[in-house]
Amino acid sequence: MIDHGEVEWAEGRSTTTRFIPAEGEFGVLLSHGAGSDQDHPLNAGIRDRLAGRGIPVMSFDYPYKAEGRSRPDRPEVLMACHRALIDHAVSRMGRVVVAGRSMGGRIGTMVAVDAPVAGAIAYAYPLHPPGRPERLRIEHLPDIPVPVLMVIGSRDTFVTAELYDQHVGALPNVTTHVLDGADHGWKVLKRSGRSQDEVFDEAVEATIAWLARI
């Protein structure tokens, strides 16, 4: 059963959460991508599958979504909200791993540099804007002191494989799982012979295995 909540992340400003309790050793705090929210199928698909495997999961909306806006807040606002939600998640779940899709994964790894988390997971990390491989989003990654799991699609236009291998995959604390044939939204071509649901299942299986190792 999903517990719907509200958390004040700054004076006079609050956001909504969805919490599925369980008895897992780690809790997962899940954030969403720029064009979605915590209940979007791309997020809910991860949240519900993790919870179904016995992992306590809390998702939340960034301020712009909670306040009915479509354009993402500035990074410093996103990070402030994310930090407050980490504190709240720790109070509810104990040891917490931050996880997020696309933009949420990037912000999660940014706060993981100095936040009290046990690890960080980035689903479909946006290494660079599509067609702009020179605009790499990597500056903070070497400074993350905890284990990191990157789950990326082999057809993701936000990731150039050679640049990823050079700047991210080579970091000693990073584990990479590649979803063969998946794009940024984890869709696969019909000729692949598998469904998007199967891609989600694979991503969650990789997450469960990684959590067991850390």
What CATH code is carried by the domain that includes residue 31?
3.40.50.1820
**What is the token pair recorded at 60?**
């939340």
* Per-residue exposure over 73-105, b if at least 16 CB sit within 10 Å of its own CB, e if not: beeebbbbbbbbbbebbbebbeebbbbbbbbbb
Domain, as residue range, for 63:
3-213
Q: Is the pLDDT of residue 192 over 90?
A: no
Report the sign of the C-alpha dihedral through residues 192, 194, 200, 205, in that order: negative
pTM of structure: 0.96
Question: Which residue(s) pair with 100 in the sheet?
Answer: 31, 122
Q: Is the pLDDT of residue 119 over 90?
A: yes
Task: Indicate the number of domains in the chain.
Answer: 1
Count Cβ atoms within 10 A of the Cβ of residue 18 and give its class: 0-12 exposed, 13-18 middle, 19 or more buried.
buried
**What is the token pair recorded at 118?**
């046990």
What's the whole-number mean pLDDT along residues 37-63? 96
Predicted local distance difference test score (pLDDT) of residue 25? 85
